[in-house]
Every structure is written in structure tokens, then in C-alpha cells.
Amino acid sequence: MRSLSKAALVGAAALTGWIAWGVYTTRSTEAIPYARRRSVDGLEIRTYPQTVRVETTASNQREAFRRLYRYITGANEGSSTLSMTRPVESRRGDSIAMTAPVRTETREGAEMQTHGPSPPGDDKVRLSFYLPPSIDPESAPKPTDLAVSLAIDQPRTVAVKRFSWYTPAWRVDSLGRTLLRAVERAGYEPVDAPFLLRYDDPWTPPFMRRNEVAVEVDASP
């Protein structure tokens, strides 16, 4: 009985520490600012300001992540160290252990404003870190790695649906289809493919995780 009680106490302490870590990382990591416009049919319609990203395209997310991590830790003109910003953005539900801010997408079947149509059959991964809001296109340090570049997202409107726990590809794909149907019912026109937003680092308890499926929409009347 004593061993069982001790194990229960150890487990409870571990769970408490795990939850505390999730709370700490959520509160201590800066997030990309946005304004809520309205809620409709389970969706949240948001507007985002201009954002600056550093990005790269690689054969896998791990290699892309390493390039971008080197950028924010000094592989740039001026050897500046930059902070990271939530959330993580990914296409097609791809998963990798990493911390915010990251934006990823497979180039297959996607069109991005700053890059144009994706070549068919190209399944490489494009990964982006969002730079802090205090950094604008003029002040963003230029990468020293030729495989890394800066990109700008112009102000945009996004429809979002929130969920928690893990983000396997099948679940994200299903939620993306649900999102598109809800967007259509709400009277909006998607201008891009759905994507995934993840706000927590890999060590956050799954029941505390904030995830969202999102799609850019045409906000004109």
C-alpha cells in the first residue's frame, strides 16, 4: 500500500509540474496580434496585420526547422538573436517537435500570396518562423544562409475553428473540410487552402493545447 501511495504522489506531482509548464510556456511566449471581427457558426473571423516571416523550403521539416533556428540564433547579418512568436502554422497536418513560432506547408496543392502557385507534384516542405511584431520589413535581419529568405504577409482576414489535443493529419484534414463548409455557410469565400495553427510547445499536456484550423477568406462585401 505504501508503494502504491508513493507512486500516486509521484504521479500527481509530475502531472502538476506538467500542467505548470504548459501554463508557463503559454503565458511567456509572445503571440502574433490579431483582432476578432465576429463569431458565426462556430467560427471566429479575425483580421491580422502585416507580418514578417523567415522561411525555407526543404525535403523535410526537421532540416527546415534547423535552418530557421540557426537564423534566429545568429545566422543573419548582424548576428542578431531573435525571439519566437506563437503560433505554429502547418499545412496538411504535418507534425514535428518544435516550438513557436513556426509556419509550415507542403507545397503540393497550395498557393501562397508571396510565392504564387505551387508546382504540381512537389512535396517539399516550406517552413516559416514569424518574427516578433516589433520587427518590420526594413528592420528584419537578412539571412546569411542562401536557402533562407524573408517574406511578408499583407494584412488579411482569417476564419478559425478551435480544438485541442493532438493534431494527426487525418484529424486536421477532417476539420479542414468542416471549416470550409462552415465558411461557405457564413457567406465567405476562401482564398487559400486550410492550414493548422498550434500555439503550444511539444511538452504541453495535450488537454491544454490550443490548436486551430484556419483559412484565409475574402473579406470584401
Q: What is the pLDDT of residues 154-173, one digit of tens each?
A: 999 999 999 988 878 789 88
Q: Distance (Å, rounded) from C-alpha 95 to C-alpha 111?
A: 20
Which domains, ranges and CATH numbers included, belong to the chain? 1-221 (3.20.80.10)
Q: State residue 203's pLDDT score.
A: 73
131 contacts 65 by C-beta, under 8 angstroms: no
Q: Distance (Å, rounded) from C-alpha 202 to C-alpha 96?
A: 9
Q: State residue 200's pLDDT score.
A: 77
Q: Inform me whether the pLDDT recorded for 147 exceeds 90.
A: yes
Q: Inform me whether the pLDDT recorded for 75 exceeds 60.
A: yes
- 148-153 and 51-58 as β-strands: parallel, antiparallel, unpaired? antiparallel
Query: In the chain, what is the greatest distance between 2 CA atoms, to the nearest angstrom?
Result: 68
Q: State residue 190's pLDDT score.
A: 95
- Give residue-wise pLDDT tens across range 95-145: 333 334 455 454 443 333 333 333 333 457 777 888 888 899 999 999 999
Q: Give the global pTM.
A: 0.69
